[in-house]
Structure 1
Amino acid sequence: MPENPSVARTRATELLGTAAVAFSVLYFASDVWEAVQGGFSAPQLWLTLVAEAAIPVVVIGLYLAQRPRIARHAAVAAGAYAYAYVFFTATVVVALVQGTPDYATLSEQLGVWMTVHGAIMLVAGVWFGYAVVRADVLPRWAGVALALGVVAVAATQGAPEGVQLVAAGLRDLGFAGMGAGLLVRLPRAAMRPSS
């Protein structure tokens, strides 16, 4: 018997919400690990790689989950944010291959490319956060947290580790909040297979 399309969509939405929460937590855990040990390690970088590799899929999924209420131009913001994280995921691979000791060294190695992609992430993150607030499909506070978080991440480059962790945590909280919003709004009856 074919599966009910609304059940499939709900399962996909549930998977997306769970992924947004889980990968946000993993990403923050990798940042905490890096701060505690004072730089990179291979296991910590592998955790970062897994968490960052999921971000492009999650952000595009979050955009699609809000259609048709989210503005069409938000597709550009989601796409740009996803693109920036494809780049940042690649930087983790560079750090693993080259045995880069810390973020400052990685930034120095990659130079202007880190700055360019950081700027893309900043603009796209604020834009997407704003679109989430305007769409009012997912929790508005999550869109605000994302927007403020990406601004804080950019503003705290070079600040003490604790300050950078708060900034990263705010950004991660934004995506986790969007994922939790998807999970909370799922109709439980629709998740049961039809008879």
Structure 2
Amino acid sequence: MDAFTRQLYKVIGLSAIAAPLAHTITDIWEVLAGGYSVPLLIVNYIAFVVLPFTVIGLYAVQRPAIRMAGLVGALLYAWSFIYFSHTALYALEQQIPDYDTLWQHLGMVYTFHGMLMIAGGLLFGVVTCYLGLFPRWTSLCFIAGILANLVFGLINVPDITQIIGSTVRNLGLMGMGASLLWPEKPGHTPL
């Protein structure tokens, strides 16, 4: 692996830790604060803007083994977070106080992009798990978080429980990022 590729892996690894971590922090912040605030939405926006590049990067480091199914999953997941970035800006502009109010404003369009996130995330996660280029626990966490988001979306529970799925999903992404920065075996090149 050449020096440029090693540096690129580091950037992808750092973004795969930083963006999901920031997303998780804003979820917890929202619960503790009882809703949105301007600083929370700005941090959330930054995390959401970085996530599409992160998942495309995680796809790219698995090439050529990951093939078309992984690309489709990564693109769907990325597309959903491009939309979710917009929702953070919308909440800022409209001074939306919380997630429930945001969903009332955006409704089915928001739900549609949530379904894209789930479909794309499952496809990307399953293909990534099958390949085993990242530690398996990372893709299993990612898949478990996506499935939790799906189940919580289908049953009658408070919307705030989606944070459980998001946190587990983000832990999987952070683990993938960490495996790029700190390979399991000393001297071993990641992937």
TM-score normalised by structure 2 residue count: 0.90
Counterpart residue number, 1:33: 29
SS in 2 for 1:185: coil
| 1:91 is the counterpart of 2:77 | no
Provide the rounded CA distance (Å) in 1 between the counterparts of 2:187 and 2:128. Answer: 26
| 1:12 is the counterpart of 2:8 | yes
Which one has a bigger Cα radius of gyration? 1
Counterpart residue number, 1:128: 124
Give the aligned residue type for 1:159.
Answer: V
Structure 2 CA distance for partners of 1:169 and 1:64, relative to 1, 3 Å: same
SS in 2 for 1:69: coil
Mapped contact 2:69–2:124 kept (Cα < 8 A): no
The structural deviation recorded for 1:155 is 2.5
The structural deviation recorded for 1:103 is 0.6
RMSD (CA atoms):
2.1
SS in 2 for 1:111: helix
Deviates more, 1:25-34 or 1:158-167: 158-167
SS in 1 for 2:65: coil
Deviations 1:80-131 (A, max 9, x none): 1100110011011000000001111111101110111111101111111101
Deviates more, 1:81-90 or 1:142-151: 142-151
Aligned-residue sequence identity (percent) comes to 33
Deviations 1:13-54 (A, max 9, x none): 011101111111111001000010111111100110011110
Counterpart residue number, 2:143: 147
Superposition pairs of residues 30-69 of structure 1, within 5 angstroms:
30-69=26-65
The structural deviation recorded for 1:132 is 0.7
Give the aligned residue type for 1:167.
Answer: G
Mapped contact 2:35–2:99 kept (Cα < 8 A): yes
Unaligned runs of 5+ in 2: none
SS in 1 for 2:149: helix
Aligned residues: 187
TM-score normalised by structure 1 residue count: 0.89
Provide the rounded CA distance (Å) in 2 between the counterparts of 1:152 and 1:189. Answer: 36
The structural deviation recorded for 1:72 is 2.4
